[in-house]
Structure 1
Amino acid sequence: MNDFYPEITPYQHFMLDVGDNHQLYVEQCGNPRGQAVVFIHGGPGAGCSEKDRRFFDPEKYRIILFDQRGCGRSLPHGSLEENTTSALVADIERIRRHLDIERWHVFGGSWGSTLSLVYAQHHPQRVKSLVLRGIFLARQQDTNWTFSGGGATRIYPDHWQNYLDAFPEGESQSDIHGAYKLMTGPDKALAEKIARAWATWEMSCCTLVPDENFLKEATTDERCWSLARHEAHYMVNNCFLEENQILNNCHKIRDIPTIIVHGRFDIVCPLDNAWLLHRELPKSQLIISEQSGHASVETNTKHHLIAATQQMLTLD
């Protein structure tokens, strides 16, 4: 069973000014002469972690990680200004050009899979391969599933009730627009309370088997603030995409080698997201991670993701 590569530290990290009053934290790890791979984190708003470096063989990969606008170590923290999908796609291209990389592998999970796909559809000539996990297609039905009384709330009604209890007026305020209004409103204490409840609800659904350590790491104060507000910001704006945009544009990336890894029991992003994507990409591989939910660190999913990054090394 594949496990994480050993812990590594960056050989370079810096802040990249991308305009619009945003500076992105960017780091490089592994082998400076290795095959370039960019890691695109989830959320929106989650930021990268030290574990994210460890899906890749550090002797063979030049590993690039960055925190998207307003989250992680990027500045200003929590900023939603000029924070759109098209801006994030442009940021990825700025990073590639800044690092003088001609083509690179792209690895993304959850919202990171969404952004990876949109980036690849805009810049297919720059993408050597895609490794995608926990597919989120960013359709209205996908946001409704988790945050508007959809299927997830029926599977985890206890966690959903904990979320509803955070609202002063209960369920009447809990739709995405209502939550977003409170999280961006003048009452900072209430905004922080709703953000923590939002993040805790989502993270509680991420693993098939309850994992207190995972939940604790995923719900620090800073992480809750950026994750919840960013996600709500994107959801109320339909992720700044046309409905079904990703599936409708799969013809643009049909020749890019793609491995899709998705948990059989993913409650945050149900498996049919990956199934539909796989059908639109006939050259893709769909690997269903049995006994797994949504999180990348679950044993079977981690094994399949590392195997995928090993496979992608054979493309050169």
Structure 2
Amino acid sequence: MERLREHLGVGRWLLYGRSWGSTLMLAYTEAHPARVSGMVIVAVTMTRRSEIDWLYRGVGRFFPKQWQRFRECVPAPERDGDLLAAYARLMSDPDTAVRAKAAHDWTAWDDAVISLKVNGKPNAYSDRPPAALLAFARICAHYFSNAAWLEEGVLLRDAHKLAGIPGVLIHDRFDLGAPLENSWQLAQVWPNARLVVVDDSGHTGSTTMAKAISTALDGFAS
């Protein structure tokens, strides 16, 4: 990154990202606020343990059958413990069949979480080539089982470091996986952030969401 900055002669960056990418954006900007000119963040996710617990346990109250299957796809002794750590181990197994099944089971749960979306795409997570599917699920399990190695709540706690940096937070009202509360909480402590709520979609977005993103980015361009 530093070599790229030197090559381009650019001192500050406009950052854009969504979902778990917002964790990376916030961590980077809070550590290096002078290097960022603005941010457009979609579906804010700060990788707090409370968020992870909601996504892989709490939201199961809406999908009890699918969550039971997600739970029962790990070995019985681990079902009442850390499910994400169990999946992470399965996706690192020497047996390719074990890894492939774990990745399929993981993304089947992800698909269930977004299945209530009116404008959603069926099987949005699992509809990937096998290698890409395993890579996606393995990265998610690895980072989420370790809460991204972040102190609990640190990104929200240190959001005061974003003062002076303009931001647009765009969030779907019907996002079950990353609830709107995430963006709302961040907007309360980031004085230069504007919250845009999209009322017709969930975590994977919609045409309305795409237009809101385009408008936000155009605003920075002008």
Are the structure 2 counterparts of residues 289 and 248 from structure 1 closer, same or farther at C-alpha, using a change threshold of 3 Å? same
Q: Which runs of 4+ in 1 moved over 3 A?
A: 92-100, 164-171, 213-217
**Contact 1:177–1:232 under 8 Å retained in 2:** yes
Question: CA–CA distance in 2 between the matches of 1:153 and 1:170?
Answer: 20
Question: CA–CA distance in 2 between the matches of 1:233 and 1:213?
Answer: 22
Aligned counterpart, 2:101: 193
**Structure 1 residue 105, shift from structure 2 partner:** 0.7
Question: CA–CA distance in 1 between the matches of 2:137 and 2:126?
Answer: 15
1:295 aligns with 2:179: no
Aligned counterpart, 1:179: 87
Instruction: State the Cα deviation string for residues 251-294 of structure 1 (Å, max 9, x = none).
Output: 11121010000010111111111111000112210011102111
1:228 aligns with 2:137: yes
**Aligned counterparts, 1:128-207, within 5 A:** 128-147=37-56, 149-150=57-58, 152-164=59-71, 166-167=73-74, 169=76, 172=79, 175-206=83-114
- CA RMSD in angstroms, aligned pairs only: 2.3
Q: In the alignment, residue 88 of structure 2 is paired with which amino acid?
A: Y
1:312 aligns with 2:220: yes
Which structure carries more helix by proportion?
Answer: 2
**Contact 1:265–1:290 under 8 Å retained in 2:** yes
Aligned counterpart, 2:150: 241
Question: CA–CA distance in 2 between the matches of 1:235 and 1:99?
Answer: 34
**Contact 2:104–2:126 under 8 Å retained in 1:** no
1:255 aligns with 2:164: yes
Does the residue aligned with 2:218 lie in a helix, a strand or coil?
helix
Aligned counterpart, 1:115: 24
**Percent of aligned positions with the same letter in both sequences?**
32
**Structure 1 residue 295, shift from structure 2 partner:** 1.1
Unaligned runs of 5+ in 2: none
Question: CA–CA distance in 1 between the matches of 2:105 and 2:5?
Answer: 36
Are the structure 2 counterparts of residues 160 and 94 from structure 1 closer, same or farther at C-alpha, using a change threshold of 3 Å? farther
**Contact 1:262–1:289 under 8 Å retained in 2:** yes
Aligned counterpart, 2:12: 103
Does the residue aligned with 1:107 lie in a helix, a strand or coil?
strand
Are the structure 2 counterparts of residues 234 and 132 from structure 1 closer, same or farther at C-alpha, using a change threshold of 3 Å? same
Question: CA–CA distance in 1 between the matches of 2:2 and 2:26?
Answer: 14
Unaligned runs of 5+ in 1: 1-91
**Structure 1 residue 228, shift from structure 2 partner:** 1.2
Aligned counterpart, 1:212: 122
**Contact 1:206–1:267 under 8 Å retained in 2:** yes
Question: CA–CA distance in 1 between the matches of 2:65 and 2:91?
Answer: 22
Question: CA–CA distance in 2 between the matches of 1:113 and 1:308?
Answer: 16
Which structure carries more strand by proportion?
Answer: 1
**Number of residues of Structure 1 aligned to a counterpart in Structure 2:** 219
Instruction: State the Cα deviation string for residues 163-200 of structure 1 (Å, max 9, x = none).
Output: 34544549727711111121112232112111122123
Does the residue aligned with 1:212 lie in a helix, a strand or coil?
coil
**Contact 1:164–1:170 under 8 Å retained in 2:** no
Are the structure 2 counterparts of residues 246 and 263 from structure 1 closer, same or farther at C-alpha, using a change threshold of 3 Å? same
**Structure 1 residue 97, shift from structure 2 partner:** 4.3
Are the structure 2 counterparts of residues 95 and 185 from structure 1 closer, same or farther at C-alpha, using a change threshold of 3 Å? farther
**Structure 1 residue 162, shift from structure 2 partner:** 4.2
Are the structure 2 counterparts of residues 99 and 162 from structure 1 closer, same or farther at C-alpha, using a change threshold of 3 Å? farther
Q: Give TM-score scaled by structure 1 length.
A: 0.63
Of the candidates 127, 136, 145, which is equivalent to residue 36 of structure 2?
Answer: 127
Structure with the bigger RCO (C-alpha within 8 Å, sep 6+) is 2
**Contact 1:204–1:215 under 8 Å retained in 2:** no
Question: CA–CA distance in 1 between the matches of 2:189 and 2:96?
Answer: 44
